[in-house]
């Protein structure tokens, strides 16, 4: 409905509201005629007073009508503003979350799983390769193989081409990988440190975090 349209029910409601003497008390035209009567002006007739009061009543009703229309217009403006605010909030939420929609994250998830799985497999297979060289019969061992303890012949290291290949602590090394990515394992919980107070001491942008993990793999002899 337009803000300028009046329904039949509203018009009937307006018409049914009585116009009292109190409503006409402040009308300047009625007050002027009544003042002339009070001053003894014999030229003022009853018809003039009645006409003035009728016109004043019309103005009262007109004022009520304008008030109704103004109230409706204000309500319409408020509703329009609320719709605009809601639409803007929805658009903001959509734009904010667009990079993280399922379609966007699934690819990153799959890539992370493949990368982590490949790296985990490489560490596990590397450890198996070191153990395989360490457990070879003595006659077949490379001269750089060192067995840590005679009673645990599966534990040792291989010194080859300036590198010492040691079995990796899988759990500790995977923690280093997560830390280099900005994820810290604390009390068996994973914490994303980017943007937190914890980042001050574990900044994933600090090359030292990545260098620590690389240094373990370097294993210079």
Q: What tokens were used for 173?
A: 């090394």
Domain, as residue range, for 28: 8-98
Does residue 54 sit in the same domain as residue 122?
no
Does residue 132 sit in the same domain as residue 199?
yes
Classify the phi-psi angles of 148: left when phi > 0, otherwise alpha if psi is within -120 to 50, otherwise beta: alpha
Does residue 106 sit in the same domain as residue 192?
yes
Domain count, the chain: 2
Q: Does residue 171 lie within any of the structural domains?
A: yes
The pLDDT of residue 211 = 67
Q: Does residue 3 lie within any of the structural domains?
A: no
The pLDDT of residue 148 = 76
Does residue 125 sit in the same domain as residue 75?
no
Q: Does residue 1 lie within any of the structural domains?
A: no
Q: Does residue 166 lie within any of the structural domains?
A: yes
Does residue 33 sit in the same domain as residue 118?
no
The pLDDT of residue 21 = 80
The pLDDT of residue 200 = 46
Does residue 114 sit in the same domain as residue 30?
no
> pTM for this structure?
0.52
Q: Does residue 130 lie within any of the structural domains?
A: yes
Does residue 87 sit in the same domain as residue 193?
no
Does residue 41 sit in the same domain as residue 149?
no
Q: Does residue 34 lie within any of the structural domains?
A: yes
Does residue 87 sit in the same domain as residue 194?
no
Q: Last residue of a domain, which of 65, 98, 131?
A: 98
Q: Last residue of a domain, which of 41, 73, 98?
A: 98
Does residue 156 sit in the same domain as residue 170?
yes
Q: What is the pLDDT along the chain (221 residues), one digit of tens a residue?
A: 555 677 777 777 777 788 878 878 788 888 888 888 888 888 888 888 888 888 888 888 888 888 888 888 898 899 999 999 999 999 999 999 888 888 888 888 899 889 888 988 988 898 899 888 888 888 888 888 888 776 666 778 888 888 888 888 888 878 888 877 878 777 777 777 655 544 444 444 456 656 666 666 665 43
Query: Among candidates 178, 133, 184, which has minimal Cα distance to 157?
Result: 133
Q: Does residue 33 lie within any of the structural domains?
A: yes
Q: Does residue 2 lie within any of the structural domains?
A: no
Does residue 175 sit in the same domain as residue 197?
yes
Does residue 174 sit in the same domain as residue 210?
yes
């Amino acid at each position: 409905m337009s803000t300028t349209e009046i329904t039949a029910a509203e018009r009937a409601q307006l018409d049914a509201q009585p116009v009292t003497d109190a409503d006409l008390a402040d009308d300047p035209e009625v007050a002027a005629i009544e003042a002339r009567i009070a001053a003894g002006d014999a030229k003022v007739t009853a018809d003039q007073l009645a006409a003035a009061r009728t016109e004043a009543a019309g103005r009262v009703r007109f004022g009520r009508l304008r008030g109704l229309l103004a109230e409706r217009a204000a309500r319409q403006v408020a509703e329009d503003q609320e719709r605009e605010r809601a639409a803007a909030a929805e658009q903001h939420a959509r734009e904010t979350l667009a990079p993280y929609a399922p379609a966007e994250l699934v690819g990153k998830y799959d890539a992370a799983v493949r990368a982590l799985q490949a790296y985990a497999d490489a560490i596990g297979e590397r450890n198996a390769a070191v153990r395989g060289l360490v457990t070879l019969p003595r006659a077949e061992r490379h001269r750089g193989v060192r067995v840590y303890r005679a009673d645990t012949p599966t534990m040792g290291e291989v010194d080859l081409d300036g590198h010492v290949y040691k079995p990796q602590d899988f759990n500790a090394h995977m923690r280093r990988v997560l830390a280099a990515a900005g994820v810290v394992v604390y009390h068996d919980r994973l914490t994303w440190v980017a943007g937190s107070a914890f980042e001050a001491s574990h900044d994933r942008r600090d090359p030292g975090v990545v260098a620590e993990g690389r240094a373990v793999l370097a294993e210079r002899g």
